[in-house]
Structure 1
Amino acid sequence: MILTIEEARDALRLDGTDNDAVILSLLDAIPHYLEVTTGRSWDVDPVHPMAKTAAKCILQLWYYPQDPDTDRLGKTIDSLMVAMTVIGRTLS
């Protein structure tokens, strides 16, 4: 996984474990989304810092789809995907 459950809870500003099942299912989907979008696997150790940042943004967007910042977050994710695609081409 790109993010731990603790990192995910922190990114979502959640306390407790009540929502862990939902969070874990989203965390499982993020590596596949990143790979399909950028053409590269990002869940290798050590995880690239930009992959962690993108994962946190995607998690926030998917967990809070009605948030007022949805458009801004979507644009941020799009920019990160473009940058990660370029980076992915240079990494071996």
Structure 2
Amino acid sequence: MEAFITALFSVCIVIGLITIVKDIVSTVLHRPAAPAQIRFSVKNRADNIEATLRMLLYRNPYAEITVVDCGSTDDTAAIIEKLALDFPHIHLEYAEKLHN
């Protein structure tokens, strides 16, 4: 019986070591995923664009965010430009420039 317990214990140790080695190799070889790319259009959303962008940044801190302004007549574009100064992965495009 003692031999059986010793053999069982040895098998458990080997399985544990294999698991540890597998986890170490997996961690070392892990390649982070490419950052998310978020693109959306807005028009006259000065009232909530800053909160929206900050929420996106909070949830996706490495995301590349492109906002396409579709002819806003309020301060939407100015707010986005101001945020882009602090967060270089925020980009502003204008819809009329995309069509030319």
Higher Cα radius of gyration? 2
State TM-score, norm by structure 1. Answer: 0.28
Structure with more of its chain in strand, by fraction: 2
State TM-score, norm by structure 2. Answer: 0.26
- Relative contact order higher in (CA < 8 Å, ≥ 6 apart): 1
